[in-house]
A = this chain, B = another copy of it.
């Protein structure tokens, strides 16, 4: 034999955090943040705050409220340095400049591994700040305050972060668990119509692969969602977040060392579509199309019944999503290989066998994908059940 000895290493690491639902987190009588970061000793907890500038524009009092909150409790918590504003959306992830800005703040304001970075914003800003927090001192405590439907029910409550590199989405990033996530519903009121709607597609996604009752509930609340009923949206976010977090908890592969990605139902086409549209199509909008595509494929392949497919497509369209875009060309097929490459290992795609039940395949019939696009276009243009 060529070797003499082996030492086998094997250990587990436990991760815990709370997702807290609240309203007006920086109102002085809201003690959630204070209780979360105060260390109940004579040493003050230090924090720096990073805000998505889309959020600070929509909430002009926000920065003052934050400063005032820390002043009010300055015997226990301490805001270090000025609040950092970062342009919102994908642009915050396209440039490592912002990562460096945050590392500089960590260095200049003595943020150590038991101090806090509080990030307030949409999914893109949270992804970028999360990556900076994960690599500074090998991990500073991160508190995410997601401000969109999409980040409150999906991207902001998980364990991933990342930035784009070489023009590729999330080419650089890590798995890192936040210290806590706070879903504050007061940020939802100022969302534009597209951002309000966008995040609903992730709820639809998780309902279709895991929870038929939740799908029915969404079907029954389309009108309330379209008329921006806050309580109904809070309920949708809670149920979606709960299913998402339970999946991470029970998957046995929270850091995605294998090739299976149930939560990426509809995402292979969505990623490619975002890219083809030069990110004019927002993530949630692309996911709605991706769900429609993989559901249609599931039907044409014989896995999903026609009435079930029609309920899905109707639901998507009635929520106000388009399922027909001119970027839906043959190019979309390339998304399959790019998806496989990003995950590594063999292609693994989630399809539907019924409403609420997903299953995985390792091969996709490209002609049937193209046929599915044709089916969707026809469905969409005729607005009739075929």
Q: Which residues of A contact B (CB under 8 A)?
A: 2-24, 27, 29-32, 43, 103-104, 107, 110, 112-115, 131, 134-140, 157, 160, 162, 165-166, 168, 170-175, 177, 238, 241-242, 245, 248-250, 254-256, 259, 340-346
Interface of A is mostly: mixed
User: Which of the residues B8, B107, B171 comes within 8 Å of A171, measured between beta carbons?
Assistant: B107
Given A2-B31, A115-B344, A341-B112, residue A7 in contact with residue B14 (CB < 8 A): no
Given A14-B12, A139-B175, residue A7 in contact with residue B344 (CB < 8 A): no
Nearest CB on B from A276, distance (A): 20
Copies of this protein chain in the complex: 2
Q: List 24 A-B contacts (CB under 8 A).
A: A3-B21, A3-B32, A4-B21, A5-B20, A7-B18, A8-B18, A9-B19, A10-B249, A11-B14, A12-B15, A13-B13, A13-B255, A103-B171, A112-B341, A112-B343, A112-B345, A113-B256, A113-B344, A114-B259, A131-B135, A135-B173, A138-B162, A138-B175, A139-B255
Task: Look across to chain B and name the residue whose beta carbon is closest to the beta carbon of A4.
Answer: B21
User: Which of the residues B10, B20, B131, B170 comes within 8 Å of A6, measured between beta carbons?
Assistant: B20
B13 touches A12 (CB 8 A): yes
C-alpha spacing A18/B43, complex, angstroms:
42
B345 touches A113 (CB 8 A): yes
Q: Which residues of B contact A19 (CB under 8 A)?
A: 6-9
Task: Look across to chain B and name the residue whose beta carbon is closest to the beta carbon of A248.
Answer: B11
Q: Which residues of B contact A21 (CB under 8 A)?
A: 3-6
Q: Which residues of B contact A157 (CB under 8 A)?
A: 9
Closest 5 CB pairs of A and B: A113-B344, A114-B344, A112-B344, A3-B22, A2-B30
Nearest CB on B from A71, distance (A): 19
Task: Look across to chain B and name the residue whose beta carbon is closest to the beta carbon of A106.
Answer: B171
Q: Which residues of B contact A9 (CB under 8 A)?
A: 15-19, 157, 177, 245, 248-249
C-alpha spacing A188/B119, complex, angstroms:
47
Residue among A12, A110, A168 with max Cβ neighbours from chain B (10 Å): A12
C-alpha spacing A17/B255, complex, angstroms:
16
Task: Look across to chain B and name the residue whose beta carbon is closest to the beta carbon of A252.
Answer: B14
Task: Look across to chain B and name the residue whose beta carbon is closest to the beta carbon of A99.
Answer: B172
Q: Which residues of B contact A10 (CB under 8 A)?
A: 14-16, 249
C-alpha spacing A133/B123, complex, angstroms:
24
Q: Which residues of B contact A342 (CB under 8 A)?
A: 112-113, 137
B13 touches A254 (CB 8 A): yes
A344 touches B137 (CB 8 A): yes
User: Which of the residues B174, B242, B250 comes within 8 Å of A139, measured between beta carbons?
Assistant: B174
Q: Which residues of B contact A340 (CB under 8 A)?
A: 112
Residue among A115, A173, A344 with max Cβ neighbours from chain B (10 Å): A344
C-alpha spacing A341/B109, complex, angstroms:
12
B135 touches A135 (CB 8 A): yes
Q: Which residues of B contact A17 (CB under 8 A)?
A: 9
Residue among A112, A113, A115 with max Cβ neighbours from chain B (10 Å): A113
Q: Which residues of B contact A4 (CB under 8 A)?
A: 21-22
Nearest CB on B from A352, distance (A): 26
C-alpha spacing A113/B253, complex, angstroms:
14
C-alpha spacing A9/B137, complex, angstroms:
24
Task: Look across to chain B and name the residue whose beta carbon is closest to the beta carbon of A141.
Answer: B344
Given A10-B249, A103-B165, residue A137 in contact with residue B171 (CB < 8 A): yes
C-alpha spacing A39/B7, complex, angstroms:
22
C-alpha spacing A88/B333, complex, angstroms:
44
C-alpha spacing A104/B131, complex, angstroms:
19
